[in-house]
Structure 1
Amino acid sequence: MPVAVVILAAGQGSRMKSDLPKVLHKVAHAPLLVHAMRAAQSIEADRIVVVTGHGGAAVAAAATDYAEDTVIVTQDEQLGTAHAVQQARDALADFDGDVVVLYGDTPFIREETLQDMLSARQSGAGIVVLGFEAAAPGRYGRLVLDQSGGLARIVEAKDASAEELAITLCNSGVICADRSTMFDLIEAVGNDNESEEYYLTDLVGLARDRDLSCAAITCPEAETMGVNSRVDLAAAEATFQAAVRLEALENGATLSAPETVHFAYDTYIGRDVVIEQNVVFGPEVTVESGAHIRAFSHLEGCHVSEAAVIGPYARLRPGAEIGGGAKVGNFVEVKSALVGTGAKINHLSYVGDAEIGADANIGAGTITCNYDGVFKHKTVIGARAFIGSNTALVAPVTIGEDAMTGSGSVVTQDAGDGDLAIARAKQVNKTGLALRVMNKLRAAKAAQLKDK
């Protein structure tokens, strides 16, 4: 059965105290909205519709940046959750299948949970609602089950009896139904309530009135965590990091101090990878099996091949491609560069817009001068080349295979295979001049002090 997902992302999020729409605040380097979209993608949704409102242009841009084919609709007035879903009606008019409603501020709904909901739909439930056993039910709506275990109704806490308040099975807000059923029921939703809003929770009662069966699927409470404030955002980040660290360990990685390693939403870590303390992964990082990421390194937008060693205190920026067995050492920055198999950049260097051949050795303090103030230029260093310490390679420039540069050189011309390039001024020693200059300066300072 085809599946569409409607993600509600129109709220202002006033408790965030931010000019940024709530759903664009980030967990693990991705907006909350993107996490919800990833949940939709996990069940291979045929269509994703994002309902925008507050900060709609920015929310729409974030959604389509992540997935170009996302359908954007607008809720001009925030009149409740049912009203929000209603805005997607035209976008799904030609769709024949189930519709799942998710929330842009609820980032952790798992694929398995959504599949359970879809399975309940295929088993005959007209409406499926996601619930959770709450440790402190408080103001959550309660899911009231009938004698057969079906969902009888949803009761808001303010309207619940003492007996109903004792129920710990609570409503997450996530709901699933056939497209035609969902929108037919939404047409019948009224706003005769204190807030004068149209609530999606009313669908259960309306469905029962039409003799449609309703089911409740449950998941852990942490999975339904909503983010409404900066405190919630910090808690969501901690929850995500704890889960991903555990997953990395269970998949065969070694984390020396797991609580100090921070992953992005899409970090890929292979088996037998060792990650030391205080490592930070930005988006789009792949680390292949057997690599070693040493302490205090920062990686984003890069690929680290098998058995490579990164750090400590290394920075890999977008476009860094590190070959198998290569070494990128302390206080080295690599950007938009291919570092060949077995190559070494061990100390205090910047390599940007470059291609480093296999088994080349880049000496301490080497810089690829890649930017002329307007354009970026490429440096090519051949296999087995040896770049002397403190070399400045002024791009565009090519150093051939098995070539060398003299320490302290400013290289502006290509060096052929096997060549030695030396580009520095001849040293001249002025006998005794340093002592004479210093004595003159000291005398001037003494005279200045005497005059005071």
Structure 2
Amino acid sequence: MTRPVAAIILAAGKGTRMKSDLHKVLHPIAGRPMLLHLIDSVAALKPERTIVVTGAGREQVEAAVSPLGVLTVVQTEQLGTGHAVHQAEEAIGGFAGDILILYGDVPLVTTATMARMLERLHGADEPATVVLGFRPADPGAYGRVIAKGDRIVKMVEYKDATPEERAETLCNSGLMAVRGEDLFALLALVGNENAAGEFYLPDIVMLAAEDGRSSAVIETDAAEVAGVNSRGELAAVEADWQHHRRIRAMAEGATLIAPETVWFAFDTQIGRDVMIEPNVFFGPGVSIADGAVIHGFSHIEGATIGAKAEVGPFARLRPGAVMGEKSKVGNFVEMKKTVLGAGAKANHLTYLGDAEVGAGANIGAGTITCNYDGYFKYRTIIGDGVFIGSNSALVAPVTIGAGAMVAAGSVITADVEADALAIARGKQEARPGRAKRFREVMAAKKAAAKK
């Protein structure tokens, strides 16, 4: 029978090495706070409870997780990982299930790895705990796991390890799986007689061993349990995430001309036969349908791009931008809260904000929808097949009827009926000889000024 699952996520550290007013675990990876990456992976296990242990800056963490139904408890003193987990005892109550212990600054642990930990916890030998181990290129100051096969003989913090123990390459990630019936009983036995004077969570492994119950270790790749304690480590984890996301995009049928220059968000959706040129950045909330082309140096967030649509180069799509099938925005075009109908085009130097552009419309270079009066936003409606001449300003709220034309250089302040030609610009005059006389007068003045 499958047992219920709970997760305790430790996020009480001050994160002083980040040198930031933002809590460490809220720094983003691929556009989403690292803590929320972890919570999302936990959520796939359908846990009965998820508890985050907070400390310094807890208000920020609470604000981030409470909308997700995640509980928080406070560790007022930083007395070690064992002490931190102990703070969740009251919130988790007499939970009769399996508990995962995770870290908010170790954000990329997958649901699959968590499931492996839980599966091993219920192996035939019934280990008291399961520890997630890894073998980094440089073991450094990580705690060591001494094991025979996957059975743990000893776990020791680096500060307390002998030279022989420090030579071991299997390290403790800190992540564990423990039965709810065992966890807090073992924690109650943990002391702080060690080099740091802290209550170490890993001590429960050896305490269980003293009671005749062995523990097991399973291994994962070092990148999956990479921790973030500084801006440099944040950048390294981001780079690793992006690397794997690019590989996945290409495996799923997208072409990336220069993969290392494309940056995805955590939720970017990409169809088949999508072409992405170099130096493209995707913020959260982007969906790209089959066959679309994203030209270089485009910045896209919160946008929906239809099948065989074309973006850029040097285009910016902001939240609420929707491009219909085979529509096109070209270089130095910006869209925000705008629907561009099927086959519609805005090829150059245009701003479309709070607008609806009909199918097949052509928006000339330099066109601006004037959507803001300094206080409120207004909508512009452009019908099917409309032609907007270059360097036009459409002062919202305004509607351009289907099939209408707007002459270049017009400032449109009133609705234009369907199939009409709208011209709103000053009358051109030419005064013969005026330019020549102007030059003569000014040249004489300049000569006089030099005397």
Per-residue CA distance 1:81-127 (angstroms, 9 max, x = gap): 11111222222226442221111111211122111111112333331
Q: What pairs with 1:50-449 in structure 2 (closer than 5 Å)?
A: 50-64=52-66, 67-93=67-93, 95-123=95-123, 124-146=126-148, 149-449=150-450
- Tell me the CA shift for residue 16 of structure 1: 2.1
* Counterpart code for 1:39: S
* Counterpart code for 1:421: A
Secondary structure of 1:145's aligned partner: strand
- Tell me the CA shift for residue 45 of structure 1: 2.9
Q: Residue 9 of structure 1: which of 8, 11, 33 is its match?
A: 11
* Counterpart code for 2:76: D
* Counterpart code for 2:91: A
CA distance in 2, matches of 1:29, 1:229: 17
2:30 pairs with 1:34: no
Q: Structure 2 vs 1, CA of residues 447 and 94 (structure 1 numbering), >3 Å: closer, same or farther?
A: farther
Unaligned 5+ segments in structure 1 are none
CA distance in 2, matches of 1:270, 1:74: 44
CA distance in 2, matches of 1:4, 1:27: 24
- Tell me the CA shift for residue 32 of structure 1: 2.1
Task: Name the count of aligned residue pairs.
Answer: 447
Secondary structure of 2:228's aligned partner: coil
Secondary structure of 1:347's aligned partner: strand
Task: Report the more deviating stretch, 341-350 or 162-171.
Answer: 162-171
Runs of 4+ in structure 1 over 6 Å off: none
Contact 2:209 2:215 in 1 (8 A): yes
Q: Structure 2 vs 1, CA of residues 165 and 195 (structure 1 numbering), >3 Å: closer, same or farther?
A: closer
Contact 1:128 1:214 in 2 (8 A): yes
- Tell me the CA shift for residue 408 of structure 1: 0.8
Contact 1:295 1:311 in 2 (8 A): yes
CA distance in 2, matches of 1:198, 1:34: 27
Secondary structure of 1:227's aligned partner: coil
Per-residue CA distance 1:336-362 (angstroms, 9 max, x = gap): 111111111111000000111111111
Contact 2:128 2:205 in 1 (8 A): no
Contact 1:143 1:170 in 2 (8 A): yes
Secondary structure of 1:348's aligned partner: strand
Per-residue CA distance 1:26-57 (angstroms, 9 max, x = gap): 22222222222222223333332221112111
* Counterpart code for 2:86: Q
Unaligned 5+ segments in structure 2 are none
Contact 2:159 2:195 in 1 (8 A): no
Per-residue CA distance 1:269-298 (angstroms, 9 max, x = gap): 221111001001111111122111000000
Per-residue CA distance 1:201-238 (angstroms, 9 max, x = gap): 11111222333342211101111111112221221121
Per-residue CA distance 1:171-214 (angstroms, 9 max, x = gap): 00011112232122222222222222111111111222333342
Secondary structure of 1:116's aligned partner: helix
Task: Report the more deviating stretch, 349-358 or 37-46.
Answer: 37-46
CA distance in 2, matches of 1:321, 1:89: 48
CA distance in 1, matches of 2:42, 2:402: 50
Percent identity reads: 52
* Counterpart code for 2:140: G
- Tell me the CA shift for residue 410 of structure 1: 0.6
CA distance in 1, matches of 2:113, 2:230: 25
Secondary structure of 2:188's aligned partner: helix
Contact 1:131 1:143 in 2 (8 A): yes
CA distance in 2, matches of 1:61, 1:314: 34
* Counterpart code for 2:10: L
Contact 1:6 1:48 in 2 (8 A): yes
Contact 2:150 2:218 in 1 (8 A): no
- Tell me the CA shift for residue 153 of structure 1: 2.8
Per-residue CA distance 1:291-327 (angstroms, 9 max, x = gap): 1100000001111111111000000001111111110
* Counterpart code for 1:425: G
CA distance in 1, matches of 2:441, 2:56: 71
Q: Structure 2 vs 1, CA of residues 95 and 304 (structure 1 numbering), >3 Å: closer, same or farther?
A: farther
CA distance in 2, matches of 1:40, 1:267: 20
Contact 1:132 1:170 in 2 (8 A): yes
Task: Report the more deviating stretch, 232-241 or 349-358.
Answer: 232-241
Per-residue CA distance 1:217-273 (angstroms, 9 max, x = gap): 110111111111222122112111111111111111100011111112222222111
- Tell me the CA shift for residue 132 of structure 1: 0.8
Secondary structure of 2:245's aligned partner: helix
Contact 2:95 2:181 in 1 (8 A): no
CA distance in 2, matches of 1:194, 1:276: 54
CA distance in 1, matches of 2:419, 2:32: 47
Contact 1:152 1:204 in 2 (8 A): no
CA distance in 2, matches of 1:161, 1:310: 60
Secondary structure of 2:68's aligned partner: coil
